[in-house]
Structure 1
């Protein structure tokens, strides 16, 4: 017969009465830990006003014998060095002090030598500093530690050789070479040490850590080759932003490696010095691949057909290599893509291109596009960013387009461009997707964007063949920070309505056929840092005061009637 509510309550009370309270020694150690903080986030009052037993205190968990097994106090604003009193909790298994303002050194040896069951240490996102010294074998023999997360601190010195299941020392200031000992532990699964100052070659031993699933060393100074053949369990490979090199297939061993590493989900080798023909890589075995980023390398040849077999790809970036040729119509098979970035390859000319309905970012710069803008692009309803510069597109501009610089467009600037909600509203956040891009959008190797809202709001129509007047409706685009109408055939006067663009930082109207005076009210644009109206037929006085007093003569040259 099932328990009644009363019987269940009696049983729980009975079980609780048999649970042992924490010892006076552990209670004292916890109170000393909190007393040594310069800011405790209100924990001292909470603990002292609580029950007598520390097992019921906020952030504290005990086992059935009353031993403290977990201290979890993330994001409480705790300040001061980590107290050595935590090393007196001999039963401690999990310690989480992440996302605080802790400083000083990490008393790792004290914690490990006293707490022989400690398995997880997370002190990420603090202000800890100093060096992590190598631990004596007597202190580490037989320890069960599985996770050490010390990311986003200020640790310095040489990279530690602790080989735990998950080691996350990224976003610190470690320097020197990666110790060979990291690869000697067959149990290591996660190794994330990006954004440090590491140098040298990846040690050979690291590529024999057969259990390794996550290998991440981006944005360091590593160089050498990449023999990943033996990492059969590898799922995430992120070595972007280094100086790694090698030519496919000899030094990188990608064809044979990929046939073994069928669990790969992420491959990020951007901003390195890899070379060779991608067609020698068989991507068809990577049935789980979701992200392939080879940006800023020296790969050559054409896009391999085998890439189109990776049906789960949601991010593909091959730009800024030396690739060429026509993209296969099979690219429409990649229906999961949300991020697509090519450069130098020709897109299919078929107007019936299907797919890409999930795309948020599409860059087709330098892709040999000719003629009119393909109409199928207008069907991408989730698209947030479209880049088409440096092609040879021509004809009138469709009203739905947004980024068209450095092409051969003709006709007048469409007034419809001046009706885009994201450029009219001063608060553009409500019109843009707040989700992070799958990949960082790299304008250059050191200039990156993560979200749509971080992009400068610009209207870039430079280096085309537009004619006619600048639409006066441009003045209603309140959120604009950049206007570039340079190197066209625009005529008429500069619209005085531009003085309403109070967020404007860059105004480039150079090398057109503009006439009349420069509107004096433009001197009230207090954020304007760069202006050029050179090489037109303007006349009259140059505005004075405000930001105009900081511009050099080159901003106004080529207008002999200006004074």
Structure 2
């Protein structure tokens, strides 16, 4: 049994490494490169500053997030484009505490948000559904609670949603079937319930799916045979029953 668990853990690590490789973004201009192109594009940075910090602050930010400084020039983990718009916030393993800022829904150019392995609490903001440029959202291994927003089906640019290792509850949103670009979903290791939605078969771009260590019930949907691009799927340590669909 112990050997089986070690093998499963190793398989997950290899699969996650594969997902990281698949989702590596193309090279982006750094904040300093954007500044050298046209410094006049940063005239609105005080508003950007207020948006990132939130009022009242949703969480305790890194020490480099100083209110009187342009976020695009010196804030840790913040990357901007040549127009002074935030395209990436990467703050994994920074000891962050507090809640996910609802006000970040104003970051309309945001493409990558990585807050993995912190101590963030509270729910997933449904308001983030307006982040139309968002490609990767990683909040794995925090202390997040509540349900998964069905409204996030509006994130039509999303390629990776990594939410596992939290305390989320409820069922998988049926509305997510409308995702057209998603390649990776990591939702395991929490208290999600309900059945595995056959409607998700419409997500034909899916390559990685982790639903392990949850409380899902029912059978494995035969409709998921449409996952022609799938490289890895984990549904072990759940309450799913029945046999493997012959259609797979």
Give the TM-score taking structure 1 as reference length. 0.35
Matches within 5 A, 1:387-536: none
Deviation at 1:23?
A: 3.0
Partner of 2:109: 91
Contact preservation (8 Å) 2:123, 2:145: yes
1:137-192 alpha-carbon deviations (Å, 9 max, x no partner): 6x35xx11010000100001112342532110010100111011221111111110
| Distance (whole Å) between structure 2 residues aligned to residue 211 and residue 167 of structure 1 | 13
1:208 equivalent to 2:226? Answer: yes
Q: 1:21 to 1:187 in 2, by over 3 A?
A: same
Q: 1:14 to 1:170 in 2, by over 3 A?
A: closer
Match of 1:21 in 2: 42
Alpha carbon RMSD of aligned pairs, Å?
2.5
Instruction: Decide whether the 8 Å contact of 1:129 with 1:154 is kept in 2.
Output: yes
Listed as ranges, the matches of 1:114-129 within 5 Å are 115-129=131-145
2:82 is aligned, of 64, 69, 72, to: 64
- Residue 129 of structure 1 and its aligned partner are, at CA, apart by 0.6
Which digits, 9 at most, give the CA deviation of each residue in 1:92-145, with x for residues without a partner? Answer: 1111111111111011x31121x21001000000000111142286x35xx110
CA 1:74–1:50 in 2, change beyond 3 Å: closer, same or farther?
Answer: farther
1:17 offset after TM fit, Å?
4.8
May I ask how many residue pairs the two structures share in their alignment? Answer: 210
Inter-partner Cα distance in structure 1 for 2:134 and 2:33: 30
Aligned-partner SS, 1:127: coil
Quick one: structure 1 residues 117 and 14, their matched pair in 2 at CA, closer, same or farther if it must change by over 3 Å?
closer
What is the alpha-carbon distance in structure 1 between the residues aligned to residue 56 and residue 138 of structure 2?
18
Per-residue deviation, 1:14:
11
The partner residue of 1:135 within 151, 166, 170 is: 151
Would you identify which runs of 4 or more consecutive aligned residues in structure 1 move more than 6 Å? 12-15
Match of 2:204 in 1: 186
**Structure 2 unmatched runs, 5+:** 1-31
Closer/same/farther in 2, CA of residues 67 and 105 from structure 1, 3 Å limit: same
Contact in 2 for aligned 1:22/1:53 (Cα 8 Å):
no
Change beyond 3 A, Cα 1:136–1:147: closer
The answer to which structure, 1 or 2, has the higher relative contact order (CA under 8 A, 6+ apart) is 2
* SS of aligned partner of 1:167: strand
SS of corresponding position for 2:145 = strand
Report whether the alignment pairs 1:176 with 2:197.
no
User: Mind listing any 5+ residue stretches in structure 1 that lack a counterpart?
Assistant: 1-11, 231-563
More helix by share: 2
Q: Secondary structure at the match of 2:241?
A: strand
The aligned residue for residue 80 of structure 1 is 98
Q: Which has the higher strand share?
A: 1
Shift in alpha-carbon separation, 1:83–1:33, aligned structure 2, 3 A:
farther
* Map of 1:196 onto structure 2: 214
SS of residue matched to 2:144: strand
The secondary structure found in structure 2 opposite 1:191 is: strand
Secondary structure at the aligned position of 1:29 is classed as helix
CA contact (8 A) 2:172 2:192 kept: yes
SS in 1 for 2:87: strand
